[in-house]
Structure 1
Amino acid sequence: MNKADKIFKDTMKMILEEGTKDEGPRPYYPSDNAPAHSTFITHQIHTYDISKGELPIITLRPIAIKNAIKEILWIYQDQTSSLDVLKNKYNIHWWDEWESKDRPGTIGQRYGATVKKHNLMNNLLEEIKKNPYGRRHIMSLWQEEDFKETDGLKPCAYETIWTVRGEYLDMSLTQRSSDFIVAGHINGMQYVALLMMVARHCGLKPGKFTHYIINLHLYDRHEENAKIMLEREPINCEPKLILNPDKTDFYSFTIDDFELVGYESVKPQLKFELAI
């Protein structure tokens, strides 16, 4: 059993056996407008050493790696919150339900728009190169002034902290809220991809990736699928995410520069009703 599968099973058992049920939730199910209740645990820390071949990808169901990485490119390369860019360039539609009323056609002054406004990505790349052993290499999408500018979903995965350790670049991701069974491993893998691109740009190797999740939850309509996944036997494989070795500039990477090899997953895929 790979590390990600073990973490998933242990965490899901903890949610089902020890989790707290919420009250008065904000999310709802679009199919009938019913409140989307969840059971949650708090302060979960998952660490993977990318340099040792560990990846936050489970085999218990197929994970949409390409779309996960496309979303990261949209946020940190395109630096926009435009839904048209997300749909026309990357063929991703999962943000459509969160279109801003204040700024139609976007998700508001959030995510990529925040990266651009505060020059977060360029500042990070410059500072890591200029002062690699600095302890202030932080990108935060949690900008209160941006929240006041427009409506929109406040970022879930909102802060990364970067540390140079010899020839390695380590990164931690802080996430306030995680729909673990649906998006937990999508978030993990997309930020590993970001770590790989930044490390390459700065002449370093990807090191440790730590995912800190404050509220990790399971929605009530996903509980049966969670139990199915707990009953599944994981596949013994060692997946690797490979980044095109011929490129070094952060902004030159495209989705075609990533290749996931050696990955297998249990099928069939499970269907989840999304809460928004």
Structure 2
Amino acid sequence: MSKADKIFVAMCEDIINNGTTTEGQKVRPHWEDGSAAYTIKQFGVCNRYDLREEFPALTLRRTALKSAMDEVLWIYQRKSNNIHDLKSHIWDEWADESGCIGKAYGYQIGVKSHYPEGDFDQMDKVLYDLRNTPFSRRIMTNTYVFADLSEMNLYPCAYSVTYNVTQRAGDERPTLNMVLNQRSQDVLAANNWNVCQYAILLMMVAQTVGMVPGQLVHMIADAHIYDRHVDIIRELISRPQHAAPRVSLNPDVTDFYAFTTDDLLVEGYEHGPQVKDIPIAV
């Protein structure tokens, strides 16, 4: 059975059974009818996935892997902050009339900084360092830039990625690992979406620099289930679990900026029915 399912079920059960509630507190999110959107939450959730074992897609329901990849490409490859460059509509709520979400996500990845080696934006510096100093402990991206928060239509949720290379004796190639830091997560709407996104990003970067994609460690400061999601979650985690799908990339692509969603290959994805009409707090 999918290890991602087991991790997800255990996390949800822990939040529901042992979490704390924000009911009655002053909260920013609200529902479409204007009422406050309260949560049950756990602090400091850490989930670990190993891509050498399997791809971490839920089988309890389908995660739209190509759409998830498209958002990753929007941020880290296209370095865009305009929803017109994105195929899905998940960011529509936070875009202005021109489609811009402010100085967020892809905008920050595309900002260039000066280094002794030259001028690089964040993603290009990651690729440069992985090729030239792969065992550096300074290879990361960060979109939570305090000076620009007032010009972001939504503060970044998943905001920091740290890359770390390991190599055991006898390994033919180094292994590329990743830590994803997230300040806040709507578990029902976004958990496996984010996990699969960054698993795909890890795979793309590893293939670009000739490494093996290894562990994805997902740190969530505030992992929460909204009050109107609890019953949906209970039903979801009670479903049958299936084997993880086989997910790979077109092996002919070795340029990070050449990947498209057509290069994501998904086989044997057996899953439960989709959860429709999820209410989203804004």
Interval of TM-score (by shorter of Structure 1 and Structure 2):
over 0.9
**Residue number in structure 1 paired with 2:93:** 97
Q: Contact 1:100–1:151 (CA<8 Å) still a contact in 2?
A: no
Structure 1: runs of 5+ lacking an equivalent = none
Partner residue, 1:231: 238
Q: Give, in whole Å, the separation in 1 of the partners of 2:136 and 2:148.
A: 27
Q: Is the 8 A contact 1:61 1:270 kept in 2?
A: no
Q: Provide the rounded CA distance (Å) in 2 between the counterparts of 1:265 and 1:72.
A: 23
CA contact (8 A) 1:114 1:146 kept: no
Match for residue 128 of structure 1?
130
1:83 aligns with 2:89: no
Cα distance change on mapping 1:160 and 1:268 into 2, 3 Å: closer
In structure 2, the residue matched to 1:213 is: 220
Distance 2:58 2:152 in 1: 34
Paired residues for 1:167-206 under 5 Å: 167-206=174-213
Equivalent residue for 1:50?
51
Per-residue deviation, 1:231:
2.0
Are positions 1:240 and 2:255 aligned together?
Answer: no
Report the Cα distance in structure 2 between the residues aligned to 1:225 and 1:270, rounded to whole angstroms: 10
Aligned-pair CA distance for 1:100: 4.6
CA distance in 1: counterparts of 2:14 and 2:159, whole angstroms: 25
Query: 1:13 maps to which residue?
Result: 13
Alignment of 1:155-174 (within 5 A): 155-166=156-167, 167-174=174-181
Counterpart CA distance in 2 for 1:6 and 1:211 is 15
CA distance in 2, matches of 1:108, 1:268: 32
Q: 2:64 matched to which residue of 1?
A: 64
Which secondary structure does the structure 1 equivalent of 2:72 belong to? helix
Match of 1:222 among 226, 229, 249: 229
2:2 and 2:56 in contact (8 A); partners too: no
1:41-71 Cα distance to aligned partner (Å, 9 max, x none) = 0111111111122x32211112111111110
Residues 58, 244 of structure 2: 8 Å contact kept: no
1:260 aligns with 2:266: yes
1:49 and 1:176 map into 2 onto residues whose CA distance is 22
Structure 2: 5+ residue runs without aligned partners?
Answer: 113-120, 168-173
Distance of 2:99 and 2:274 partners within structure 1: 34
Percent identity between the aligned chains? 36
Conserved 8 A contact 1:98-1:152 = yes
Q: Is the 8 A contact 2:142 2:161 kept in 1?
A: yes
- Which structure carries more helix by proportion? 1
Given that residues 171 and 210 in structure 1 are in contact (C-alpha distance below 8 angstroms), is that contact kept between their aligned partners in structure 2?
yes
Alignment coverage as a number of residue pairs = 266
TM-score (norm 1): 0.93
Alpha-carbon shift at residue 144 of structure 1 (Å): 1.1
Structure 1 stretches of 4+ moved >4 Å: none
TM-score (norm 2): 0.91
SS at match of 2:184: strand
